Homo-oligomer: A and B are copies of this chain.
């Protein structure tokens, strides 16, 4: 008889995420060990406890989830976790702080339903945030020509540099959108736009969006009004809207993407327990999502 599936939920916040816990339970996790205030400094003993208690095939029935609102801190914890492993003595790990990986994967998958990503001109607004960075990375890997936009050119350039290092042959350019002219240049000729900015900040007005003669897909990941993309409703799910130039644009809002995000999240949790040697970060979680489409 196989052992109960244990998920060790490591959260960098002062309170462990209830959201991540409910999803884990609904994905079939049988025992949840929930830890708050986890850091790259204090995580070692917790990981050793996962590594040294079950042997052989049973080791795949223990896994680690890393979450919390601070994406950088969670990435540090992931590094510290994988540093503990040696040889076959390891457990599978999933990283999804603030839902950044599952959200980015869901957004890119939504786009891929309507447009071929290879070679597409793709604008990512709010590209320097946790979700935005992952969207840029996933699009670049799919062969898109990515425009990483931010109010700050320096920060946009830093994201481009970082993704170019990670993704061989990436086509990616920084855009500064703090001025009207900068924003106009960023959107000019784009076929896909994904807005991943802070909640409640409009990144592109309805007029600017509708003026485009090329925009085929527009995805807004902001659920709190006002919308990040003017005129896109949070509940939009493949809603076709026609612009001033007659261009038809398929639109998604945050809730429209949310169902896919939830399915990817649960499928990724389930996949953790199929082997003991997985590290599920942006690309791996995107692959999980692809297998569900």
Contacts and interface: CB of A to CB of B under 8 A. Distances in A.
A23 interface: yes
A223 to B, nearest CB: 9
B45 A18 contact: yes
A18 B54 contact: no
A37 interface: yes
A33 to B, nearest CB: 5
A25 B31 contact: yes
Given A4-B25, A26-B54, A46 B18 contact: yes
A45 to B, nearest CB: 7
A19 B6 CA distance: 12
A22 interface: yes
A53 interface: yes
A164 interface: no
B19 A37 contact: no
A65 B53 CA distance: 17
A89 B19 CA distance: 14
**Interface of A (DSSP majority class):** mixed
Nearest to A30: B25
Nearest to A223: B52
B26 A14 contact: no
Contacts of A35: 15-16
A32 interface: yes
B18 A49 contact: yes
B4 A8 contact: no
Contacts of A52: 19
Given A6-B22, A34-B34, 5 more contacts: A6-B25, A15-B35, A19-B52, A21-B49, A22-B53
Interface of A: 3-4, 6, 8, 14-23, 25-26, 31-35, 37-38, 42, 45-50, 52-54, 62, 262
